[in-house]
Amino acid sequence: MTVLQARQLSVALAGKTVVEDLDLTLSAGEITVLLGPNGAGKSTLLGGLAGELPITGELNFGGRPMTAWAPGALARQRGVMPQRVEVNFPLTVEEVVRLGRTGGDRRADEAILAEVLSALSLEGLRYRKMPTLSGGEQQRVQLARVLAQILDSQGPRLLLLDECTSALDPAHQQLALGLVRTLARTQGIAVLAIVHDLNLAAQFADRLVVLKAGRCVASGPAEEVLTPSMLASVYGYQARVERLAEGYSVIVPVAGAVQTAPVKPTCRQAS
């Protein structure tokens, strides 16, 4: 079932078109991972889908134009996790996660709170103040808040995650993305996640979409998209792809190869 469909979507940042002519379909229960070098327009695309940035083109959510949704109703169906959230005020973990329940069904609050806190192993931190937490702990709290927002909603649901595991240790990365995958499968949530770690992307993505300079240059399942030639042309990254088992690949840098990283400016703004 299609949850989100974009046709010829362009997103502008500070008056400049950063993402151009993008076609994207997100289906229920599926994780789509957005890849691309720094400045390729991944966060900008997410910002456009999250309603933060001006877009042109066609964008439908749940069979209706995105603009036809009332903001309050949309918040129950679409959870957005920004790239960096730092809380300098002494809100507790519980208060932050509860914020995700704004406008939701009050009767479900306690059960959902307990569920997301336990699923992200945050129970012990429930009454801690945010500024006393580490970066990774804060990131898990934000993910819990975003999940609490849409967990009990009916109808089409979408999660937009901007590097939601960037501050997590390997075990918590597995925990967080594993949880996202379980929820996507069991509840039919469509997920679009930006993940820089290629191995994590290969492990959790049902589909990869690769952006370069604001345009989609490749898309499909990991086995097809994650190839040495793609890595070399998109990232300037000399790497081998080792298949370990069905569904598990490891990307390893070629020993001794000169990593030429940004071959030329990839971001439209920089060019």
Partner 1 sequence: MQSSRLSPRFPGQLLDPAGRLRFGASLALVVALAVVAALVSISSGAYPISVTDMLRVLAGQPGQDAAARLVLMEVRLPRFLLGFLVGAVLAVSGAILQGLFRNPLADPTLIGVSSGASLAAISVIVLGEALLGHWLHLAETWALPLAAFAGGSGTVFLAWKIARRAGQVSVATLLLAGIAINAIAMAGTGLLTFHANDEQLRSLTFWTMGSLGHAAWHDLVVAGPWLLLALLMAQTLATPLDAFLMGESVVGHLGFDTERVKRRAILVAGLGVGAAVAVSGLIGFVGLVVPHLVRQMAGASHRTLLPICALAGGSLLVAADSLARVVVAPAELPIGLMTALIGGPFFLVILLRMNVS
Beta carbon nearer to partner 1, 41 or 51: 51
| Nearest CA among 214, 201, 204, 164 for reference residue 184 | 204
- Under DSSP, the state recorded for 40 is S
Residue 49 CB, shortest distance to partner 1, in Å, is: 11
Name residue 161's beta-bridge partners. 81, 193
Beta carbon nearer to partner 1, 72 or 256: 72
Beta carbon nearer to partner 1, 32 or 138: 138
Residue in the block written with tokens 């939601």: 164
CA atoms of 124 and 143, how far apart (whole Å)? 16
Beta carbon nearer to partner 1, 37 or 47: 47
Residue 259 CB, shortest distance to partner 1, in Å, is: 33
Residue 88 CB, shortest distance to partner 1, in Å, is: 7
User: What 3-state class would DSSP assign to 161?
Assistant: strand
Name residue 9's beta-bridge partners. 22
Residue 113 CB, shortest distance to partner 1, in Å, is: 14
Residue 129 CB, shortest distance to partner 1, in Å, is: 7
Q: Which residue blocks in 38-134 are alpha helix, DSSP H?
A: 42-49, 71-77, 93-99, 109-119
User: What 3-state class would DSSP assign to 13?
Assistant: strand
Beta carbon nearer to partner 1, 127 or 271: 127
The site for partner 1 (CB under 8 A) is made up of 15, 47, 50-52, 71-76, 78-80, 82, 85, 87-92, 95-96, 99-100, 102-103, 126-129, 142, 145, 149
